[in-house]
Structure 1
């Protein structure tokens, strides 16, 4: 008698991460020089959604826009923000006018 082995299910697509697990590393687009000059590695910026569908920006605690956030799949991040999740952008590196950030969920 032969037994059956368990099969695997799935369509070959990785599921989208839940809002709490989103972690995206990217570079600020159109960085604002006067704001970037005052940032240091480790600073944390607010991720702000300008309207129901965007744009996404990174802002200081004073509300100064450091730059735009352009990512390959903004819909998932925008949906999470519209559902009440808050996101932060941690400054990972600043080289000249380039600012590398890491986006993460900071709560609901």
Structure 2
């Protein structure tokens, strides 16, 4: 149906939810070898972890920098499964802790 409000809506989270989903999080299980390559302002891809059901990683190239967790992770997983893409900008690097802003790519 042309003009239908439902057009373009994918199963799971509504389009408007996925297109506006953004949050700040500290990466869990940071990978030291990848962290050594990062600097503030770097943008990482956000991808489903094929090895962990419901897992999400922030990735530099093809190397996971750390896991994205937190209260909004389930919404993020739904959006990723429905074809939306996200990125994570490095906001702060302190020791082994990496804080990122997750947002639609």
TM-score by length of 2: 0.79
CA drift at 1:86: 0.2
The answer for unaligned runs of 5 or more in structure 1 is 1-16
CA contact 1:53–1:78 (8 Å) conserved in 2? no
Q: TM-score, normalised by structure 1?
A: 0.77
| Residue in 2 that maps onto 1:4 | none
Q: What displacement does 1:34 show? A: 1.0
Residue 41 of structure 1 aligns with which residue? 40
Aligned length in residues: 89
- The CA distance in 1 between the partners of 2:74 and 2:93, in whole Å, is 27
Alpha-carbon distance in structure 2 between the residues aligned to 1:41 and 1:98:
12
Q: After superposition, what is the alpha-carbon deviation per residue over 1:77-107, rounded to whole angstroms, capped at 9, x for unaligned?
A: 111111110000100010111100000011x
Q: Which has the larger radius of gyration?
A: 1
> Deviation digits for residues 37-89 of structure 1, max 9, x if unmatched?
1100000001110249421011112x011011111132211111111100001
C-alpha RMSD over aligned residues: 1.5
Aligned to 2:63: 64
What 5-or-longer segments of structure 2 have no aligned partner?
A: 1-15
* Runs of 4+ more than 3 Å apart: none
Which secondary structure does the structure 2 equivalent of 1:100 belong to? strand
